Amino acid sequence: MRVPSVVTIAGVDPSGGAGVLADVKAISAQRAYACAVVTALTAQNTQAVAGIQAVPPAFVREQIDVLFADVVIDAAKIGMLGGRAVIEAVALGLQRWAPCHIVLDPVMVAKSGDALLARDAAGALRDALLPLATVITPNLPEAGVLLEGRAPDSLREMRQTAERLRERMAHAGQRWVLLKGGHLPYGDAIDLLTDGDKMIELASPRVATKNTHGTGCTLSSALAALLPQVSDVPEAARRAKAYLTKAIESADLLNVGKGHGPVHHFHAMWR
């Protein structure tokens, strides 16, 4: 079998815990070949985001076109885009090249609480990218923004939110919502996966650690890497969540930064 090639379209976190660097690690850990299109540069560490420098939208589009013209891309993961113009450039590029799998992680806020998406860009994300995605992976606050309301605060509300998000996506083909429930304040970490017909609960025990920087990036990248390799979306989601859970459980073996440190992307290899 050919090794699948997966591109992450996201920003750079110099600490390596999130963004493109974390995505490349997660994709590689799933035995796929990682490519990257850079949408933004950040001055960031494990404690805060000090600054953001957007990449010009035309250059983001050029990166996409040049890469896809040469490399057979089996899946794309979309992360931090920053603003409306970059969102539109990415949407146009993906419409042109139409990779088989697109995972959209609607990155809006860093673990430190700093904003990573301009206030006026949520509508563009909702209108231009949701219809292109195979799977979207919002957390609860992101889901609230996408639906122009508040974040769900119970499992019952999560079910309703997941169904409403699925309705916002294109109806043709396999389209899935993976709604992450880590922000709920109690019990296991329960994510909900739905295609509009069935609702699947993916549960894992909560891990007592502050080192959870880049969990969303890691899950979505692992999922994008697994989609070309497994038979269906639910199986890919189960494997991606199991991989992330182990990465969080092993995070304290690393000693990176003074704030929210990264998860251990290579926990299965660095023994």
pLDDT tens digit string along 6-65? Answer: 999 999 999 999 999 999 999 999 999 999 999 999 999 999 989 999 999 999 999 999
Q: What is the dihedral of CA 22, 261, 103, 198, to 10 degrees?
A: 140
Report the C-alpha gap between 229 and 91 in whole angstroms: 25
For the chain, domains (ranges, CATH) are: 5-253 (3.40.1190.20)
Mean pLDDT of the chain: 93
Segment 127-143 shows an average pLDDT of 94
pTM for this prediction: 0.95
Residue whose tokens read 């993916």: 202
Segment 192-207 shows an average pLDDT of 94
Please give the positions annotated as active site. Answer: 180, 212, 214-217
Segment 147-167 shows an average pLDDT of 92
More confident residue, 152 or 185: 152
pLDDT at 111 over 70: no
Q: Would strands 199-204 and 189-194 be described as parallel, antiparallel, or unpaired?
A: antiparallel
Residue 35: its pLDDT value, please? 98
Share of the chain above pLDDT 90, in %: 78
